[in-house]
Amino acid sequence: MKRIAVFPGSFDPITTGHEDIVLRGAGLFDEVVVAIGVNTTKNYLFSLEQRMAFVEQTFAGHSNIRVTQYEGLTVEFCKSIGAKYILRGLRNSTDFEYESTIANMNKSISDGIETILLVTAPELSHVQSTVLREIYKNNGDISSFLPKGIQL
Ligand code: ADP
C-alpha cells in the first residue's frame, strides 16, 4: 500500500522552510500531499488562489508531491485520501510543545494517524511565515526566504 503523508498548513506564504520539509518528506514517503487548510474565520495576507499557485509552482516537476486544499479536520482529510501520516517541521522548543500536543490529539481522534516531525535545517530555523508577513507588510524584501521563482 502507498505510504502517503499530508503536509498541512496555511502557506501564507510558502517559505524555504516549508519547501525543505516537503522535499525531505518526498524522499521518505511514496507521496506527499501539501494540503492548504481553508479556514473561513482566518484572515490571510495572500488569497487562497495565490497561496495555491505559489505552492504548485514550488513543487512543479516533482512527481510524488501533490498540492490540494481542504476544509475541516486534518485527520478527516487524511482519511479521505488514504493518508496514514502527517508531516510537520520542528524549528524550536515552541514548535515542539505545539506539535507534540497536536500530534497526540490527532492520533487519539483518528485511527492512529502518526505525525512525523522533521527537524529544521539549521540555516532555515529562523524562517517563519508570520515574521515574513510582517516584513512584507512594511515593504521589506522577503524574496530570499521564498522558494526560487516565486514573485509576490
Ligand atoms: P501554519 O501554516 O499551520 O500556521 P506554519 O506556516 O508556521 O504554520 O507551518 C506549517 C508547518 O511547517 C509546521 O509544522 C511548521 O513547524 C513547519 N515549518 C514552518 N517553517 C519551517 C522552517 N523554517 N523549518 C522547518 N519547519 C518549518
Tell me the pLDDT tens digit for each residue of 90-141.
999 999 999 999 999 999 999 899 999 999 999 999 999 999 999 999 999 9
Say if CB 70 and CB 37 are below 8 A apart. yes
Distance from C-alpha of 62 to C-alpha of 60, rounded to nearest angstrom: 6
Kindly list the structural domains of the chain, giving each domain's residue range(s) and its CATH number in brackets, ordered by start.
4-145 (3.40.50.620)
Q: Tell whether the model's pLDDT for residue 35 goes beyond 90.
A: yes
Q: Given this model, what pLDDT does residue 40 score?
A: 84
- Residue 139 CA to ligand 1 centre (angstroms): 23
- Mean of the pLDDT values across residues 79-98? 97
pTM of the entire predicted model: 0.96
Q: Given this model, what pLDDT does residue 1 score?
A: 87
Q: Given this model, what pLDDT does residue 152 score?
A: 87
Does the beta carbon of 17 sit less than 6 angstroms from any atom of ligand 1?
Answer: yes
Q: For this structure, is 18 an active site residue? A: yes
- Mean of the pLDDT values across residues 81-85? 98
Indicate the average pLDDT of the chain: 97
Q: Given this model, what pLDDT does residue 75 score?
A: 98
Q: For this structure, is 100 an active site residue? A: no
Q: For cell 512527481, name the residue.
A: 63
Question: How remote is the C-alpha of 60 from its chain's centroid?
Answer: 16
Does the beta carbon of 9 sit less than 6 angstroms from any atom of ligand 1?
Answer: yes
SS3 85: strand
- Mean of the pLDDT values across residues 52-81? 98
Q: For cell 485511527, name the residue.
A: 111
Q: For cell 498540492, name the residue.
A: 67
